[in-house]
Amino acid sequence: MRIALAEDHFLLRDGLIRLLGAHGHEVVAAVDNGTELLDALVERRPDVAVVDVRLPPTFTDEGLRAVLAARERVPDLPVLLLSQYVEPLYARELLAGGGRGVGYLLKDRVTNGGHFLDAIRRVAEGGTAMDPEVISKLLLRKERDVAVGSLSEREREVLEWVAQGRSNAGIAQGLFISEKAVAKHIGNIFTKLGLLPTDGDNRRVLAVLAYLDQ
Amino acid sequence: MDRTTQLGVNHAPDEIRGFSVAAGLVGLRRVMSLCWMASAAFGRSLAVSGAIWLVGPGLGVVPRAMEGVRNLAARRRELALRWSGVEIPGPPGPPPPAPEGASWPAARYRWIMSDPQTRREWVWVLVDPLAGALLAFFPLALILSGVWGVFLAFFGVPLSVEWDGLWYQFIPVEGQATAVLAGVLGVLQLPLALWVAPRAVRRHALYTRSMLAPSESELMAGRIQHLATTRSEAVDTQMAEIRRIERDLHDGAQARLVAMGMTLDAAEHRLESDPEAVRALLAEARESSSKALEELRDLVRGIHPPVLADRGLADAVRALAMVCPVRTEVHVDLPGRPEMPVESAAYFAISEILTNVAKHSGADRAWIDLRYDRGMLRITVTDDGQGGADVSRGTGLRGIERRLATFDGVLAVNSPVNGPTMVTMELPCVLPSPKTTSS
The secondary structure of B258-306 as a DSSP string is: HHHHHHHHHHHHHTTT-HHHHHHHHHHHHHHHHHHHHHHHHHHHHHS-H
Q: Inform me whether the pLDDT recorded for A145 exceeds 60.
A: no
- The lowest-confidence range among A38-52, A140-154, B183-197 is A140-154
Reported as a single tens digit per residue, the pLDDT across A10-28 is 999 999 999 999 999 999 9
**Whether A54 contacts A63, CB under 8 Å:** yes
Contact A112 B286 (CB under 8 A): yes
Reported as a single tens digit per residue, the pLDDT across B265-323 is 999 999 989 989 999 999 999 889 989 998 999 899 888 999 999 999 999 999 999 88
CB atoms within 10 A of CB B15: 8
What residues does B411 pair with on adjacent strands? B425
- Please give the sequence-ordered ranges of beta strands (E in DSSP) within chain A, or none if there are none: 2-6, 26-31, 48-52, 79-83, 102-106, 128-130
Partner A contacted by B417 (CB < 8 A): no
Q: What is the pLDDT of residue B327?
A: 86
| B425 min Cα distance to partner chain A (Å) | 25
Nearest to A161 by CA among A175, A147, A148, A150: A175
CA atoms B175, B177, B183, B189: torsion sign: negative
Q: What is the mean pLDDT of residues A79-107?
A: 85
- The lowest-confidence range among A131-145, B35-49, B71-85, B421-435 is A131-145
User: Which residue of chain A comes nearest to B298, CA vs CA?
Assistant: A85
CB atoms within 10 A of CB A116: 23
Q: What is the mean pLDDT of residues B116-125?
A: 87
Euclidean distance between CA atoms B86 and B208, whole angstroms: 9
Q: What is the pLDDT of residue A209?
A: 65
Partner A contacted by B327 (CB < 8 A): yes
Q: What is the pLDDT of residue A200?
A: 55
Of residues A157 and B92, the one with the higher pLDDT is: A157
The answer to whether the peptide bond before residue A57 is cis (omega within 30 degrees of 0) is: yes
ipTM above 0.85, yes or no: no
Query: Residue B118 — pLDDT band, cuts 50, 70, 90?
Result: confident
Of residues B5 and B321, the one with the higher pLDDT is: B321
Nearest to A68 by CA among A58, A79, A59, A60: A79
Reported as a single tens digit per residue, the pLDDT across A172-207 is 988 888 989 998 988 888 888 777 766 555 677 667
Of residues A156 and A214, the one with the higher pLDDT is: A156
Q: What pairing do the DSSP bridges indicate for beta strands A79-83 and B327-333?
A: unpaired
User: Which residue of chain A comes nearest to B310, CA vs CA?
Assistant: A60
Q: Which residues contact B42 (CB under 8 A, 6 or more apart)?
A: B128, B129
Q: Please, which contacts does B416-419 make with residues 24 or more away whose CB atoms are closer than 8 Å? A: B416/B387, B416/B388, B417/B386, B417/B387, B417/B388, B418/B386, B418/B387, B418/B388, B419/B387
Query: Residue B8 — pLDDT band, cuts 50, 70, 90?
Result: very low
How far lies B325's CA from each of A102, B346, B366, in Å? 26, 20, 10
Q: Inform me whether the pLDDT recorded for B3 exceeds 80.
A: no
Partner A contacted by B297 (CB < 8 A): yes
User: Number of A:B CB contacts under 8 A?
Assistant: 60
3-class DSSP state of B191: helix
Contact B327 A88 (CB under 8 A): no
What is the Cβ-side half-sphere exposure of residue B231, based on CA atoms within 13 angstroms? 6
Q: Which residues of A lie inside 8 Å of B (Cβ-Cβ)? A: 53-54, 58, 60-61, 65, 69, 84-85, 87-90, 92, 106-108, 111-112, 137-138, 140-141, 143-145
Q: What is the pLDDT of residue A91?
A: 84
Reported as a single tens digit per residue, the pLDDT across B153-186 is 888 788 887 887 778 888 887 778 888 888 888 8
The torsion angle over the Cα atoms of residues B225, B226, B232 and B234, rounded to 10 degrees, is -170
Q: What is the pLDDT of residue A67?
A: 92
| A181 min Cα distance to partner chain B (Å) | 30
**Whether A53 contacts A63, CB under 8 Å:** yes
**Whether A134 contacts A88, CB under 8 Å:** yes
Q: Inform me whether the pLDDT recorded for B190 exceeds 70.
A: yes
Q: What pairing do the DSSP bridges indicate for beta strands B171-173 and B166-168?
A: antiparallel
Of residues B425 and A190, the one with the higher pLDDT is: B425
Reported as a single tens digit per residue, the pLDDT across B91-101 is 777 777 766 66
Contact A84 B297 (CB under 8 A): yes
Partner A contacted by B311 (CB < 8 A): yes
Chosen from B295, B310, B318, B355 to mutate, greatest number of chain A CBs within 10 A: B310
Euclidean distance between CA atoms A90 and B68, whole angstroms: 58
Contact A144 B364 (CB under 8 A): yes
Q: What is the mean pLDDT of residues B342-369?
A: 91
Euclidean distance between CA atoms B208 and B132, whole angstroms: 8
**Whether B10 contacts B98, CB under 8 Å:** no
One-letter amino acid at B172 equals P
**Whether B410 contacts B439, CB under 8 Å:** no
Partner A contacted by B438 (CB < 8 A): yes
Contact B327 A144 (CB under 8 A): yes
Euclidean distance between CA atoms B152 and B154, whole angstroms: 5
How far lies B183's CA from each of B24, B28, B164, B168, B195, in Å? 21, 22, 19, 9, 19
Give the global pTM.
0.71
Q: What is the pLDDT of residue B215?
A: 86
Q: What is the mean pLDDT of residues B14-33?
A: 83
User: Nearest Cβ partner of B326 from A61, A90, A144?
Assistant: A144
Q: What is the pLDDT of residue A206?
A: 67
Across all residues in chain A, what is the average pLDDT? 84
Q: What is the mean pLDDT of residues A126-146?
A: 70
